[in-house]
Amino acid sequence: MGNFFTDNDDLRFVLNNMDLRGLSSLTEQGYKFADKFDYAPASAEEAIQNYNMVMESLGQLCSDFIAPRSEEMDRQGNTLTEDGRVERPEAMDEILDKLAKADVMGMTLPYRFGGLNFPTTILSVANEMISRADASLMNIFGLQGIAETINSFASEEIKQEYLHDLAAGRKTGAMVLTEPDAGSDLQVCKVKAFQDSSGQWYLHGVKRFITNGCGEVLLVMARSEHDRKDGLGLSLFVCHSGPTVKIRRIEDKMGIHASPTCEIYFDNTPCKLIGETRRGLVTYVMALMNGARIGISAQSVGIGEAAYRVARDYAASREQFGGPIEHLPAVRDMVVEMKIDVEESRALLYETCRVVDMEIGLTRITESDDFSKEEQKDAKKQLRMIKRYAAMLTPMSKYLSTEMSNKVAYDSIQVLAGSGFMRDYPTEQYYRDARITTIYEGTTQLQIVACVRGVCNGTAQKYIEELADFQFDPELQEMLDILKQNRETMDECIKHIKQQSMEYMDLYGRRIVDIAIKIICGYLFCRQASGAADMEIPTAKEGETVSMKKRKAVIAKRYINRNAAVIKALAEQILQGDKSTFEDYEEIAGPVPELV
């Protein structure tokens, strides 16, 4: 029997070093729910115990029940029956049943709907473990954001109608946004929403690429203002699946085979409006997407973890040239890079979760009558910066983790070489599954656009200043000095970019974002190396252990030293200001080729 929670030292270390007391106090609003619900915690200790126990239990399910079924589900995929039903792989139904019985389908929902009132941080731990077991499953499990959106913006009547079923896992949901002509550019959505004389809303039109579109609860973005062609003409609706919701096809995909991707035709489907009209895209879907991006970031960390583990195991046991291949410098270096890449993404993921949970918690304080004017004022003040940090870190984390999962899955196959290319090992599935992560919930290029403004408008600099304000271990001074120089380099680049055009900022966006990420993660590693909670973990040498903090200091050193040169190179490119991409595109790209 294994356990994807207890066997993951880095995950537990990161979690132990987060301020879970403060976090739980925010989400539990001073532990006031304990009086009303016998399972709500009465103290920080109890809340933290709950998080750990539930994650440990889920970790076991992931390891012993879900992971062994992943290959079978990947091979089976989903099928669309003649009468328009989607048949999931058998194992998927069994797994969803187990998850429902485990009460984890409404992790972040309030107690009153049967939820666990867990913070986003803990949902991310769950998403990471689930994805390590089976990336496709996360696409259904992780759709808990739909319930969150309903909870945040819908009327009490709609909440009562939908949330109990979602929390209990009796129903699953889908975010129904994309259309054949509206992918990244959602504001051109065409699906129509209209009202009859009694005021009842209906939906009409086609949505495409809908993950779990066969789910029972559909959150649909549609055009309610027929005179407006932009994002302000869009509203958000919720409806049940039924005879007027027709699954027309399911996609034949490269990866995540067990996650059904549907095309849906709404044939005058009755629905209900969420919140107010015209705020669908600009407010509600933006919030929904931010949550989903954190989910995909966690999914990617899970895939990366799984891919790393197979490679690490193989490198130690595969013998060539008279010894295990991990003795070969080239393989050894790949293994180390993969491990650090996974830990880098994880560090940024949970830091992002921390900030997002702060945002959610503080927002609740400003909206609740339980707090004094003074407290609310204080919360509002804090919120101002926290919101900007969250808006920058969320796409940053999504970008970093998803690119990481692709690189690590790629290298994992490389370590296994021929065997990794064969279906005997799971690496090729990780590779195929990872591929979508940089695409859905906003492509890497869109994530860069979403965070580059934050990087260039001073938010990143302010945030990094806060990160640097920490009681670091004195041994790290040399590293902190390097990071300080890196920050000066970043300041210089930002200054240069701002003197150029917006177009230039987007052209060099990825480079400046990379610089920011490397500085942020450098500080995060240093913080981990200076954290309060340490643990002893085994090393690769049999019988030897190492303190996690010391290990993180080693990683911080390597990471910061190696990246100093990378940051320098990126900065040179930014400052050099090559514009041939714009100016010489026609010559370089040549005519559009004919595809035979």
Partner 1 sequence: MAYKCIVLIKQVPDTSRITGEAMNEDGTVNRGALPAIFNPEDLNALELALEIKEKYGGSVTAVTMGLPSASEVLREALFMGADDAVLVTDRRCAASDTLATSYILTRAAEKIGCDLVLCGRQAIDGDTAQVGPQMAEKLDMPQITYVEEVHELTPSRIVCRRNMGNGWQRTACKLPVLLTVTDQANEPRIGAARRIMKYKNAKTPAEISKEGGSDEDIREMKNKGLLIGQLNLDDVQADLQWCGRDGSPTKVHRIMSVVLTAKESKEVDSSAQGINDMVHELIEDHTIG
Partner 2 sequence: MIEVNRQGEVWVFAEQHLGKVEDIAFELLGRARELADKLGVKVGAVIAGDSIKSVCEELIQYGADKVYTVENNLLEHYQTNSYTKVLCALIEKHKPQIVLYGASPVGRDLAPRVASKMKAGLTADCTDLQIGNHEIKKTGEKHENLLLQIRPAFGGNIIATIINYDRWPQMATVREGVMPMPEPDSKRKGEVIDESVSLSAEDLPIEIIEEVRREKSVNLKASRIIVAGGAGVGSKENFRMIWDLANALGGVPAATRAAADLGYIGKDYQVGQTGTTVRPSLYIAIGLSGAIQHQAGMSESKKIIAVNNDPDAPIFDVAHYKVCGDLNEVVPQMIKAVKEKV
The site for partner 2 (CB under 8 A) is made up of 314, 317-319, 419, 424-425
Dihedral over Cα of 291, 441, 138, 205: its sign: positive
Q: How far apart are CA 496 and CA 214, in angstroms?
A: 49
Stretch that binds partner 1, among 34-42, 78-86, 445-453, 503-511 (CB under 8 A): 34-42
Vertex 67 angle, CA 66 and 71, to 5°: 110
**End-to-end CA separation in angstroms for the chain:** 53
HSE-CB at 437 with a 13 A cutoff on CA atoms is 35
Q: Is 125 in the site for partner 1 (CB under 8 A)?
A: no
Biggest CA–CA distance in the chain, Å, is 81
CB of 53 to partner 1, least distance (A): 5
How many residues in the shown chain lie near partner 1 by CB under 8 A? 22
Interface pick for partner 1 out of 17, 27, 60, 447 (rule CB under 8 A):
60
In this structure, what are the phi and psi dihedrals at residue 16, rounded to the nearest 5 degrees? -65, -25
Count how many Cα atoms sit within 13 Å of the Cα of residue 339 in the half-sphere of its side chain. 21
Tokens (6 digits) for 186: 């959602």
102's enclosing H/E stretch is: none
User: 348 is in the binding site of which of partner 2, partner 1, none (Cβ under 5 to 8 A by kind)?
Assistant: none
Determine if 422 is a binding residue for partner 1 (CB under 8 A).
no
98 binds partner 1 (CB under 8 A): yes
The site partner of 318 among partner 2, partner 1, none (C-beta below 5 to 8 Å per kind) is: partner 2
Q: Cα torsion for 345, 25, 356, 220, to the nearest 10°?
A: 120
Instruction: Dig out the tokens for 160 from the structure.
Output: 């009562």
Residues 462-521 that bind partner 1 (CB under 8 A): none
Which residues from 356-375 bind partner 1, rule CB under 8 A? none
* Residue 422 Cβ vs partner 2, minimum distance, rounded to whole Å: 10
- Output 15 or 289, the one with its CB closest to partner 1: 15
The CA distance from 40 to 148, in Å, is: 19
Q: Which is nearer to partner 2, 310 or 483 (CB)?
A: 310
Of 116 and 186, which has the nearer Cβ to partner 1?
A: 116
**Torsion sign over Cα 60, 65, 66, 70:** positive
Report the partner that residue 103 touches, choosing among partner 1, partner 2, none (CB closer than 5 to 8 A by kind). partner 1
Q: Which of partner 2, partner 1, none does 314 bind, CB closer than 5 to 8 A by kind?
A: partner 2
Binding segment (CB under 8 A) for partner 1, from list 10-18, 21-29, 33-41, 226-234: 33-41
Least Å from the CB of residue 131 to partner 1: 18
Q: What is the spatial distance between Cα 254 and Cα 309, in angstroms, rounded to a whole number?
A: 23
Q: DSSP 3-state assignment of 368? A: coil
539 interface partner picked from partner 2, partner 1, none, CB below 5 to 8 A per type: none
Cβ closer to partner 2: 319 or 466?
319
Rounded least distance, CB 118 to partner 1, Å: 9
Cβ-contact 24, 48 below 8 angstroms: yes
CA distances 144 to 98, 104, 108, 538, 576, Å, are 16, 10, 8, 36, 45
Other CB atoms within a 10 A radius of the CB of residue 53 amount to: 11
Binding region for partner 1 (CB under 8 A) out of 60-68, 187-195, 375-383, 398-406 = 60-68
Cα separation, 495 vs 504, in Å, equals 12
Q: Which does 54 bind (CB under 5 to 8 A by kind): partner 2, partner 1, none?
A: partner 1
Q: How far is the CB of 101 from partner 1 (least distance, A)?
A: 5
Give whichever of 45 and 424 is closer to partner 2, judged by the CB atom.
424
- Shortest Å distance, C-beta 49 to partner 1: 6
**Residue 319 binding partner per list partner 2, partner 1, none, with a CB distance cut-off of 5 to 8 Å that depends on partner kind:** partner 2
**What is the phi/psi pair of residue 266, to 5°?**
-95, 115
Structure-block tokens of residue 474 = 């004195």
Assign 3-class secondary structure to 394-454. HHHHHHHHHHHHHHHHHHHHHHHCHHHHCCCCCHHHHHHHHHHHHCCCCCHHHHHHHHHHH
CB of 132 to partner 2, least distance (A): 19
Q: Choose between 318 and 579: whose C-beta lies nearer to partner 2.
A: 318
Min separation Cβ 205 and partner 1, Å: 38
39 sits near partner 1 (criterion: CB under 8 A):
yes
Among the residue ranges 39-47, 376-384, 393-401, 453-461, the one whose residues contact partner 1 (CB under 8 A): 39-47
Q: Indicate the DSSP class of residue 64.
A: I
Q: Indicate the Cα dihedral angle 211, 364, 20, 557, nearest 10°.
A: 70
Residue 545 binding target from partner 1, partner 2, none, CB below 5 to 8 Å by type:
none
Residue 61 interacts, among partner 1, partner 2, none and using kind-specific CB cut-offs from 5 to 8 Å, with partner 1
Q: Is 130 in the site for partner 1 (CB under 8 A)?
A: no
Closest CA to 493 of 485, 265, 100: 485
With respect to partner 2, which residue has the nearer C-beta, 424 or 503? 424
**Contact with partner 1 (CB under 8 A): which of 9, 94, 225, 378?**
94
Supply angle C-alpha 530, 393, 126, rounded to 5. 75
- The enclosing H or E element of 12 equals helix 9-16
> Does residue 58 bind partner 1 (CB under 8 A)?
yes
- Of 54-62, 262-270, 315-323, 327-335, the window that binds partner 1 (rule: CB under 8 A) is 54-62
Angle at the Cα of 9 (from 6 to 14), degrees rounded to 5?
110
Which one, 162 or 314, has the nearer CB to partner 2? 314
Task: Closer to partner 2 by CB, 110 or 324: give it.
Answer: 324
Phi, psi dihedral angles at 557 (to 5 degrees): -60, -50
> In angstroms, what is the minimal distance from the CB of 541 to partner 2?
18
Angstrom distance (rounded) from CA 161 to CA 184: 31
* Contact predicate 141/130, CB 8 Å: yes
Asked if residue 49 binds partner 1 (CB under 8 A), the reply is yes
Q: Nearer to partner 2 by C-beta: 318 or 332?
A: 318
Tell me which of 7, 21, 53, 458 binds partner 1, using CB under 8 A: 53
Binding site for partner 1 (CB under 8 A): 38-41, 49-50, 53-54, 57-58, 60-61, 65, 94, 98, 101-104, 107, 114, 116
